[in-house]
Structure 1
Amino acid sequence: MGQKVNVLYIDDEDNNLNSFKASLRKEFNVNTALNAKQGLEMVREFEYQVVIADQRMPEMTGVEFFEKLIQVNPLPIRILLTGYSDIQSVIDAINKGEVHRFIDKPWNIEQIKNAVRNAGEIYFTRKELAYKNEKLHKVHSEMNQFVYSLSHELRGPLMSISGISKLAKLEVNDPDILEYFNMIDLATHKLDNFIYKMLDFYRSTKIDNKFTKIDVAHLLEQQYAAYQEKWDLSEIDVQMNVVQEQEFYSDDAKLRVIVNNLFSNAYNFQKQHEKDKKISLSITVKNDGCTILCIDNGIGIDEKYQKEVFNLFQRATQQNVGSGIGLYMVKESVEQLSGEIELSSALNEGTKVKVSLPHIV
C-alpha cells in the first residue's frame, strides 16, 4: 500500500486514546476523538480510510455512531471494539452499522494493526474501482456519441457521393469515365457497408437490452426491402416466412442484427455459377419462444472451421467477402437475449443456422 492510512479512533477514555495513538502513529496517520459528536465533525472535515469506535460510550454507542457515520460519509471502513458479552451489539452492528470487523477488548496491538492494514487496502481498492467505473461510464457515454457520429456524420457524406456519382453517370457516355464512376460507387458501397457492420457490432455487443413488443412480419418486411435495395436478388430464390401465434418481446436492434447477418452470410457465400440459388429465412413465434431459421445452398462451411466461425474475425473461406464478424455478432446478440444458436453445414452443399430465443416475461 503506497500511502499511509488515515485512522480515526473514538473512545471516551483518554488512556485508551493515548495508548492507541502511541502504538500506531509510526505506521498510520492517527487522529482521536473523545466522543461520537466530535468524531462526526472530524469525518466531515477530513478523509479517513478507517474509523474505529468503542461500543460502550456514554452519549452514543459505537453502533449508533456508525449509523450516523453512514449518513455523513459511508466510505470509511468501520471497525467496532466490543466485548464477547455484547452479542446484541454485534448483531446491531452488522444490521445497522455495516461494520467490517469486530475486535474484542482488551485489544491486541498486532491485531489492531492487521485490521487497519486490511481495512485500508479495502478502502483504496474500492476508491480505485469507483474511479475506474466513473471512467468507464464516461467512455461508454463518449462511445455512444461516437457511434451516433459514425452513423450520421460519415454515412451522410457517403450517400451524397453515391448520389452525385449516379447523377454524373447519366451525363457521361465515355465507357472509360463510366468505369471510374463505377469504381467510386464500389468504394463508397464497401465503406458504407463497413460502417453499417460497425454499427451492428456496437448494437450487438455494447448496448444493454431494450425489450419491446416485436411485430415479426413487419420487421422481416422492412429488412427484406433493405436487402432488395442493397443487393441484386433477381437470380436467387428467396423465401421469407413468418408465423407469429402470440406476442413476442425482445430487443428490436439485436433481433435485426441476427436476421441481417444470417441473411448477409447466406447471400455473400452463394456459389457463383450456381443456377438454382436459394435462401430461406423463416421466423416462428410459438409458446416455446421464437425460432429463426436461415437455410441456403451456398458454398457451405468445412467441418474443421464450424466450431470457430462464431469467433471474432474468423473466416471459413478464402473468398474476399465478409468482414469475419457477422456470425460473431449473431452469437453475441443471441447470448445477450439468453438464446441458443445451432449451425450445421456441408461443404459445397449449403448451411443451416437455427436461433432459438426465449419469451421475455
Structure 2
Amino acid sequence: MPCIARLKQGLREGMEFKRVIRNLLIGNDTFIASRAEYKSAILRAQMAFVTIIVCALYIVIDASNGVSNFTGFYLLGISVSAISVFLNRQAHYQSTNFLLLITANFLTYIFASNDTYRAGTYIYLIVCCLLAFALYGYKHRIAAVLFCLVSIGLFLLSYVYEVKILIHTPEEQKLVYAEEYVRVSFITNFLIALVLCSLILHFLLTINFHSENEILVKNDLLSKTNQELDRFVYSASHDLKAPLSSMLGLIEIAQRTDDPEEIKMCLGMMRSRINILDDFIREIIDYSRNARLELKKDKFSLLELTKEVVDGLKYAEGFENIYLKYNMSADLEVETDRARLRVVLSNLIGNSLKYHDPAKENPNVEISAVSTNNQLRIEVQDNGVGISEEHKTKIFDMFYRASEMSKGSGLGLYIVSETIKKLNGSISVTSKVGLGSTFQIVIPL
C-alpha cells in the first residue's frame, strides 16, 4: 500500500509538473481544439527556449575562449526568442512563426559568414528549413517553401561571399579561427542541430500518428454507424410495414361485409394498429432528439414528473388492475434534463405495465427515488413476467426482442440506455422469470 501511495503521489507530481511546463509554453490553461495546432504551439515555444539556451551557451563558450565579437547578436537572439514566447502565449501564432524563422535565418547567416565553414554553423539552416515546414504545415506550405528558399539562398551567400562584418582585426580572426574553438563550435553546432532536427521529426511523426489513428477510429465508427443504420432501416421498415399490411387487410374485410359488429371490430383493430405505429414513431423521435439535442438542465419535482408520466400511460391495457406505488419524497427536487428523464421513466414504467402478469392477484409497479452524494437513484420495480438470464445482457440492444411475441418494437430499452449515457449515468437490471424485474438508474446531479 505505501508503494502504491508513493506511485500515485509521483504520478500526481508528474502531471502537475507537465501542466506547469505546458502553461509556461503556451499560456495558463489555454485551450487549443486542434491537436496539430496544439503541438505546433508547444514546438514553437520549445524552439524559442532552445534558442535562448543555445545563445546563452555560446556566450559562455566565447567568453571562455576570449571571443566577444558575437555577444550582441546572441543577446539579440535571446531577446527575440523571449518575445516569441510571449506572442505564442498570446496565441499570435503566425506572427511568432515569422519572427522566429526570420531571426533564426538572419543569425545563422551572420554567424556562418564570420565563422570558418569548419565550425558547421550553416547546419542550423537545415533546422530552419525543417522548422518552417513543421510550423506552417500543409495549410500554409507556400510560406514554408519561401522560408526554405531563403535558407538555401543564405547558405549559398554565406559560403560564396565571406562577409566578415564581425571580425575586424587579425587578432580577432586568430581567436575565432583557433583550432580548439573551431572544434568545440563544430561539436556544439552538430549536437544541437541533431537534437533540434530529432525534435522536429518527432513532432511530425506524432502529428502523423495521431492523424492516422483518428482516421482509423472515425472509419471504425463510420462502419459501426453504417451497420446500425442498415439494421435500423431494415427493422424500421419491417415494423412499419407489419401494421400497415394488417390495416390493409382489415380495410378489405370491412369493405366486404355489411355486418355492423364486424365493421366495428375491424375499426377497433385498426385503432390498435395505429397506436402501434404512433408508439413506434414516437420512439424514433425520442431516439433522434437524444442523439441531436444538447443537455438542458432544469430544476423540477421528481414526483410531479413521475405522476405526469403515469398519467400518460393510464390507457395501457390492464392499467386499472395494476397497483402503483410512489416511494419518494414529495419535496424531492432534482436538476437534470427533464425531457430526457421523462423519456426514461416513460419507457421503464410503460414496460412494467405492458409486461405485468395478469395471472397474479396483485400486479404492482413501485417507483422509488432518492438523492444522495450528488446522485439521483431511481428504481422501477414490478412483479411482472420477468426476464430470463439469456436475454438480460441483450435487452439494451437496438431492436432486440426476446421473442416474436414481444409487444414492443425493441427500441424502448435501447433509447433508455442511450439517454442514460447522454446524462452520464448508468442503468442496471435484476430480474427473475415469474417474479418480476427491477431497473435501477443512477444519474449525476
Fold shared per TM-score above 0.5: yes
Superposition TM-score tier, normalisation by shorter sequence: 0.5 to 0.7
Equivalent position to 2:129, from 112, 119, 124: 112
Residue 213 of structure 1 contacts residue 249 of structure 1 at CA under 8 Å; is this kept in 2? Answer: yes
Q: Which residue of 1 aligns with 2:20?
A: none
2-structure distance, mates of 1:211, 1:287: 18
What secondary structure is seen at the aligned counterpart in 2 of 1:195?
A: helix
TM-score normalised per structure 2: 0.47
**Letter matched to residue 344 of structure 1:** T
Identity %: 22
* Aligned partner letter, 1:121: Y
The equivalent position to 2:87 in structure 1, one of 93, 100, 113, is 93
Aligned to 2:138: 121
Residues in 2 aligned to 1:244 and 1:290: alpha-carbon distance in whole angstroms: 15
**Aligned to 1:252, which of 313, 338, 362?**
338
Matches within 5 A, 1:1-361: 84=52, 85=77, 86-96=80-90, 97-99=92-94, 103=101, 104-105=104-105, 106=108, 108=125, 112=129, 115-116=132-133, 119-121=136-138, 174-271=260-357, 273-285=359-371, 288-359=374-445
Contact 1:244 1:285 in 2 (8 A): no
Q: CA–CA distance in 2 between the matches of 1:358 and 1:212?
A: 14
Tell me how far apart the structure 1 counterparts of residues 410 and 309 of structure 2 sit (CA, whole Å). 21
Structure 1 residues 112 and 191: alpha-carbon distance in aligned structure 2, compared to 1, 3 A threshold: same
> Deviation string for 1:168-212 (max 9, x for gaps)?
xxxx97111112212321121111111211222223332111111
Q: Is the 8 A contact 1:340 1:357 kept in 2?
A: yes
State how far apart, in whole Å, the 2-side matches of 1:223 and 1:234 are. 16
Q: Give the partner amino acid of 2:133.
A: V
Which residue identity is paired with 1:346? K
Secondary structure at the residue paired with 1:295? strand
Q: Which has the higher helix share?
A: 2
Describe the superposition over 1:108-163 as per-residue Cα deviations: whole angstroms up to 9, x where unpaired: 3685267437734366999xx9xxxxxxxxxxxxxxxxxxxxxxxxxxxxxxxxxx
Query: How many residues matched?
Result: 243
Structure 2 residue runs without a partner (length 5+): 1-36, 53-76, 109-123, 142-206, 216-250, 252-257
- Is the CA contact 1:244–1:284 (under 8 Å) kept in the aligned structure 2? no
* RMSD, aligned CA: 3.7
Q: Is the 8 A contact 2:375 2:444 kept in 1?
A: yes
| Larger gyration radius, structure 1 or structure 2 | 2
- Partner of 1:322: helix, strand, or coil? coil
C-alpha contact 2:310 2:346 (8 A) present in aligned 1: no
Gap regions ≥5 residues in structure 1: 1-73, 130-164, 166-171
3-state SS, counterpart of residue 299 of structure 1: coil
Pair 188,113 (structure 1): closer, same or farther in 2 beyond 3 Å: same
Report Cα offsets for 1:207-262 as digits up to 9, x if no partner: 11111111122212211111113444023222233314453211110110110111
Q: CA 1:319–1:311 in 2, change beyond 3 Å: closer, same or farther?
A: same
Give the 3-state SS of the residue equivalent to 2:319 in structure 1: coil
Change (3 A) 1:202 1:241: farther
Query: 1: distance between equivalents of 2:357 and 2:307?
Result: 26
Distance in 2, Cα, partners of 1:112 & 1:256 = 60
Partner of 1:121, secondary structure, is coil
1:296 CA displacement: 1.4
| Partner Cα distance (1:258, 1:95) in 2 | 46
Distance 2:386 2:439 in 1: 11
- Please, which moves more after superposition, 82-91 or 303-312? 82-91
Per the normalisation by structure 1, the TM-score is: 0.57
In the TM superposition, what is the alpha-carbon distance from 1:89 to its structure 2 partner?
2.7
Higher strand share: 1
The farther-off stretch of 188-197 and 275-284 is: 275-284
Contact 1:246-1:286 within 8 A present in 2 as well: no
Residue 269 of structure 1 deviates from its aligned partner by 2.2
Distance 1:281 1:196, change over 3 A: same
* Cα contact 1:246–1:287 (8 A) shared by 2: no
* Residues 302 and 332 in structure 2, CA contact (< 8 A), matched pair in contact too: no
d(CA) in 1 for partners of 2:282, 2:261:
31
Letter in 2 for 1:308: K
Counterpart CA distance in 1 for 2:354 and 2:407 is: 7
Partner of 1:52: none
> Partner of 2:176 in structure 1?
none
